[in-house]
Amino acid sequence: MIALALGLRERERRFRVFTELRVRVNEEPRYRIPDICVKALPHQVTPILTQPDLAIEIVSPDDEVPEMLAKIGDYLAAGIPHVWVVDPYKRTLVEADQAGIRRPASRLLATPLVGEIDFALLFQQLDEPAE
């Protein structure tokens, strides 16, 4: 649902959405695979993405806090300016950037590139019965 919400804005806001694409996080080389990432256009098309503009991690039931913090640290150290962590089970959000890691005051997250995403609406869709 998050990738779809972002995908509806790709053309207008000039970015691309990728799901589960390898991202280089250091020169070793070391890689992470965020659930979703966003890269401004134009960008170099490669099988491994370098420095997306937004990385999004979606929490799974077996995710551990130390591992999630390590991922956030890797993304920020790699120069990724915005990191969002979405927990669809607890309906919580965390955002991280060079200013730190924090819980937003509302269920709206935004970056200059993608604009505002209303996670309250997305979480509400999770509660709707399947047809």
What pLDDT, on the 0 to 100 scale, is given for residue 61? 92
In contact, 15 and 40? CB cutoff 8 Å: yes
Q: What are phi and psi of 127, to 5 degrees?
A: -85, -10
What pLDDT, on the 0 to 100 scale, is given for residue 72? 97
Sheet containing strand 100-102, edge to edge, reads 15-19, 36-40, 54-58, 83-87, 92-97, 100-102
Rg (C-alpha) for the chain, rounded Å, is 14
**CA 16 to CA 14: how far, in whole Å?**
7
Helices (H) and strands (E) in the chain, counts: 4, 11
Amino acid type, 115:
G
Amino acid type, 76:
L
Count the Cβ atoms, other than its own, within 10 Å of residue 51. 16
What pLDDT, on the 0 to 100 scale, is given for residue 46? 81
What pLDDT, on the 0 to 100 scale, is given for residue 84? 98
- Give all domains of the chain, ordered by start, each with its CATH number: 2-127 (3.90.1570.10)
Candidates 83, 87, 35, 80; CA nearest to 59 is: 87
Q: Which residues of the chain have pLDDT under 50?
A: none
